[in-house]
Amino acid sequence: MTQSTVPVIFDLDGTLVDPAGGITDGISAALSELGLRVPAQAQLDAMIGPKLSDSLLNVAGVPAELLGQVIGLYRTYYRETGIAQSRLYPGIRELVEDYAAAGRPIAVATQKPEGLARTVLEHHGIAASFLFIRGSA
């Protein structure tokens, strides 16, 4: 591959998209619905980026037996409300459009579930610009 055909690979959350409100509000909503303690905002903010299950166990103190329920509630909230709360970082739309116009392949690799990552990028109108979008199962 020549340099111009090697894809530039971006992470999603914290690189292309500021997901803060959608993620932290979703975690808060899921924990509240199950009557679990909601961590302080600084702790919620620290949960953005690392693997969700690890953060829920280690930062929020979610009992292992409730982990699946919390993640399910979180994902429902995120799909219904959180995606709309996310924002592209300044200049990202233009960067993606410039790469596409120049024929430079770009891709996304994320810990977010792949379908959800695609939905976020579609919401922001830039999904079609990516050669591939890969996430967790």
Distance (Å, rounded) from C-alpha 34 to C-alpha 13? 26
CATH numbers and ranges of domains, the chain: 3-17+87-136 (3.40.50.1000), 20-85 (1.10.150.240)
**Residue 127, pLDDT score:** 98
Question: What residues act catalytically?
Answer: 11
Beta 8-10 vs 106-113: how paired, if at all? parallel
> What pTM did the predictor assign?
0.84
Q: Say how far apart CA 59 and CA 49 lie, in whole Å.
A: 13
Torsion of CA 58, 61, 62, 65, to 10 degrees: 80
Sign of the torsion formed by the C-alpha atoms of 134, 81, 24 and 21: positive
The rounded distance, in Å, linking the Cα atoms of 6 and 125 is 23
In angstroms, the CA 33 to CA 27 distance is: 10
Tens of pLDDT, residues 31-81: 999 999 999 999 999 998 888 999 999 999 999 999 999 999 999 999 999
The answer to whether 26 and 44 are in contact (CB under 8 A) is no
pLDDT for position 4: 67
Q: Is residue 135 within 8 Å of 116, Cβ to Cβ?
A: yes
Residue 23, pLDDT score: 92
Residues 6+ apart with CB under 8 A from 1: none
The pLDDT value given to residue 3? 55
How far is residue 61's CA from residue 54's CA, in Å, rounded to a whole number? 10
